């Protein structure tokens, strides 16, 4: 195994650890968040972190189909953030 | 030779993405105002995930016949991030979890704080229009 491949494998491991740490930090903000806006923001950040984790999974396993999973999660995350914020703002999602 | 350079580029993109994700997460946890906290996770949403997707794209070009599929996710995230940020900022103004911005020049108050004329009788005191 050459040095470059070893470096890439270590970078994948580091990125996994850091994104998991970021996910835990966003979850702490989700629990302690003093207001509704902070909780929505923490959920949005967690969705984006999850996209990053799935992309990393695709790199480390060399499977290409994971990009479709992350695309669907990106769409779902956006729709859920907008729905949550709209529910707080208007008391209704589809008027 | 090209494979070695590509592998180094993947490692660099992964490290950049990891650093920006960490910075965004620390900012989300550490900043002390709702509107200020809105600022930190944008780093995760643009550069963090963008660098990881770039690494994935280079990986597919180096180790198999490449593709541009990851550009779809990147474009989608870059287009939707400002919209959701705008909604969250409106929620912050609506819930009064930040300092209310100065009144707009023409109307009495901001749209999300306004109460329709027929509902003013039973609206809470601090939600009535200031005029």
Domain of residue A12, residue span: 3-90
Lowest mean pLDDT among A74-83, B42-51, B79-88, B116-125: B116-125
The tens digit of pLDDT for each residue in A7-22 reads 999 999 999 999 999 9
Tokens representing residue B14 in the block:
């992964």
Q: Is residue A95 part of a domain?
A: no
The stretch A79-92 carries a mean pLDDT of: 89
Q: Is residue A82 part of a domain?
A: yes
A78 chain-B contacts, CB cut-off 8 A: 76, 80, 83-84
Contact assessment for residue A78 and residue B80, using Cβ atoms and an 8 Å cutoff: yes
Q: Is B102 helix (H, G, I), strand (E, B) or coil?
A: coil
The number of distinct structural domains making up chain A is 1
Residue boundaries of the structural domains of chain B: 2-99, 100-131
The tens digit of pLDDT for each residue in A19-43 reads 999 999 999 999 997 888 999 999 9
- Inform me whether the C-beta atom of residue B100 falls under 8 Å from chain A C-beta atoms: no
Model confidence at B122: pLDDT above 90: no
Query: Which residue on chain A is closest to B50 by alpha carbon?
Result: A52
- Residue B45: pLDDT band (50, 70, 90) is confident
Query: Which residue on chain B is closest to A45 by alpha carbon?
Result: B41
Q: ipTM score here?
A: 0.89
The tens digit of pLDDT for each residue in A47-79 reads 999 999 999 999 999 888 888 999 999 999 999
How close does chain B come to A91, measured CA to CA in Å? 12
The stretch B64-91 carries a mean pLDDT of: 90
Q: Rounded CA gap, B57 and B35, in Å?
A: 34
- Inform me whether the C-beta atom of residue B47 falls under 8 Å from chain A C-beta atoms: no
Q: Is residue A66 part of a domain?
A: yes
């Amino acid at each position: 195994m050459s040095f470059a491949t070893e470096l890439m494998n270590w970078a994948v491991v580091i990125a996994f650890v850091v994104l998991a740490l970021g996910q835990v930090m966003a979850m702490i903000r989700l629990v302690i968040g003093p207001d509704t806006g902070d909780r929505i923001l923490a959920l949005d950040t967690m969705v984006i972190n999850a996209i990053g984790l799935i992309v990393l999974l695709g790199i480390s396993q060399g499977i290409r189909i994971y990009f479709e999973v992350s695309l669907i999660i990106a769409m779902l995350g956006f729709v859920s953030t907008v729905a949550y914020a709209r529910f707080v703002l208007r008391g209704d999602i589809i008027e | 030779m090209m494979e070695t350079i590509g592998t180094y580029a993947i490692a660099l993109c992964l490290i950049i993405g990891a650093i920006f994700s960490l910075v965004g997460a620390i900012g989300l946890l550490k900043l002390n105002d709702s509107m200020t906290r809105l600022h930190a996770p944008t780093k995760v949403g643009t550069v963090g995930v963008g660098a990881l997707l770039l690494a994935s794209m280079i990986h597919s070009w180096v180790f198999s016949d490449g593709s541009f599929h990851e550009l779809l996710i990147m474009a989608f995230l870059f287009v939707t991030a400002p919209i959701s940020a705008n909604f969250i900022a409106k929620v912050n103004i609506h819930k009064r979890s930040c300092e209310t911005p100065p009144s707009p020049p023409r109307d009495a108050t901001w749209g999300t704080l306004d109460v329709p004329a027929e509902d003013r009788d039973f609206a809470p005191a601090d939600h009535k229009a200031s005029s």
